[in-house]
Amino acid sequence: MKNYTTYCFALVVIATAVTAAGETFTFTIPDAYLKHGVQEQPVMLNVTGTGNVKAMPDQVVISAYIYTRDKKASKAYDENASKMRTLMDSLLALGVPKKNIATESLSIDTIYKEGSTKVDYFAVHRSIKIFQDDMDTISPVLDAIIDAGIEDVGSIDFVVKDLEDKYREALEGAAADCRGTADALASAMGARVVDLVSMSYDYGGYNPYDVSRWAADDLGGFAAGNQMIVPREVTTTVNVYATYEIEYTGL
């Protein structure tokens, strides 16, 4: 299509120049660019469409890590489980649904003495996530984590719960944008879209708001009036790539 545009422009310039000189000049546009039944060679148009859907977060996800150690694996595990139970009781009392408290991973590591095959101690690592729908009560949840003896608070992420719906909405928008771009370009060049030849898409991304990781020593207390954590609007992006066959219809 690009070659066609350049060719037509050159022909218009030549025709104008010759007319100004009072002469007659006749030229023929190659069949590949005219609608004479069937084009000798199909002309392809490649376009890209983008769909963006914005939404405000409606859930906060707080990550924390419970680490315990002991000479005996059972004691290290029991201490870890005890901290988890204490946290669970506090969160349930705050009104956090049990289904919103999840253990992401749990591992028991054997730590050996340096330069020896003898066991020094056992370490238990538990990764947990707390999903809080009430975004105005982040501080009490953080207090509950610290009060349970959990020293490692990981991150605070604001997310959109119905992200799948936003993704599909962005996908539909990208597809419509892709076809609209193809129609506009073809029409501007005196052509029309004949057929869809190929199409692909990719997930452009989702940018949640993330609060940097904090160490427990820096946290202190979390008075509700001091939390001052404000989420921002997040965007879901999808890109669609398509190739269309176009047909010249005349300017």
**Same structural domain, 52 and 79:** no
Question: Which tokens go with 175?
Answer: 């597809």
Considering 49-58, 206-215, 220-229, 230-239, the range whose residues carry the highest mean pLDDT is: 49-58
Percentage, residues of the chain above pLDDT 70: 73
CATH number for position 98: 3.30.70.2970
Sheet holding 59-70, edge to edge: 101-112, 119-132, 59-70, 152-159, 209-211
Tell me, yes or no, whether 8 lies in a domain: no
Domain boundary among 138, 159, 180: 159
Helices (H), the chain: 2-20, 73-93, 138-147, 163-188
Could you tell me which residue, 194 or 8, shows the higher pLDDT?
Answer: 194
25 has a pLDDT exceeding 90: no
Q: What distance in Å separates the CA atoms of residue 226 and residue 234, rounded to the nearest whole number?
A: 24
Report whether pLDDT(251) > 70.
Answer: no
Is residue 222 domain-resident?
Answer: yes
Residue 221 pLDDT grade (very low, low, confident, very high; cuts 50, 70, 90): very low
Same domain, yes or no: 169 and 230:
yes
Please give the mean pLDDT across all residues of the chain. Answer: 79
> Do 108 and 181 reside in the same domain of the chain?
no
pTM given for the model: 0.57
Q: Are 190 and 245 in contact (CB under 8 A)?
A: no
pLDDT value for 204? 64
Lowest mean pLDDT among 41-50, 113-122, 230-239: 230-239
Q: Is the pLDDT of residue 197 over 80?
A: yes
Q: Give the mean model confidence (pLDDT) for residues 53-74.
A: 92
Domain limits for position 217: 42-57+161-251
**Is residue 239 helix, strand or coil?**
strand
Q: What is the mean pLDDT of residues 210-229?
A: 41
Q: Mean pLDDT lowest for which of 62-76, 170-184, 227-241?
A: 227-241
